[in-house]
Amino acid sequence: MKFAVIVFPGSNCDVDMFHAIKDALGEEVEYVWHSADNLDEYDGILLPGGFSYGDYLRCGAIARFSNVMAEVVKAAEAGKPVLGVCNGFQILLEAGLLPGAMRRNDGLKFICRNVELQVANNETMFTTSYEANETITVPIAHGEGNYYCDEATLAELKENKQIVFTYAGTNPNGSLEDIAGITNKQGNVLGMMPHPERAVDELLGSTDGLKIFQSIVKNWRETHVVTA
């Protein structure tokens, strides 16, 4: 399986994402600059964390208009797995690929630490390697991770089982209903604030994030004929 790590001006987790795929997962991966106009050769699309375009205006608001985003939308509509982490999640929200919005953390401070997550839905292409309601440890690093949506959208997220990860125990940022990650209705676009790419090796303190990437590959291979 071949992944694209989209790099925007200001991305700072692209290297983490690249090495999670290359070294921990053992799959093919390439950096793709934000000006790219074709993603057809890639099977999975990854939008990393950071501060795209300095996070001016709103987080992800400028990156949403980058040339490559038309191709990200195209890939999502074609059913390819698209994962946005932290700033990548914010970009997916701004692009309308996921519902809702991000607000400043309740405490108005940047938070960087490990948190416990509950796997609220282990039936998506990103989570089948987890047990139902499994508790995992993954780090966060954000100042605007307070997820919000209106009541109608929240009801829809619940009805369609689009809430994939929730904060277990203490909610670090005030996110509505403890939401840490959601998918689109089709289930092939996942946005999450915690950083699974920083939890793929024991040296990093946890391997709990690796199962997200393993799930993607497993489910992709089950629906594609792979020839040597």
The helix (run of H) or strand (run of E) holding residue 76 is helix 69-77
Q: Say if residues 32 and 2 touch (Cβ distance below 8 Å).
A: no
Name the nearest CA neighbour of 168 among 120, 131, 214.
120
Distance of CA 9 to the CA centre of its chain: 18
Counting DSSP H helices and E strands in the chain, the numbers are 5, 11
Show which residues are catalytic: 86, 195, 197
Residues contacting 184, CB < 8 A, separation 6+:
76, 97, 98, 162
Tokens standing for residue 66: 């980058």
Beta bridge partners of 140: 113
Q: Say if residues 75 and 39 touch (Cβ distance below 8 Å).
A: yes
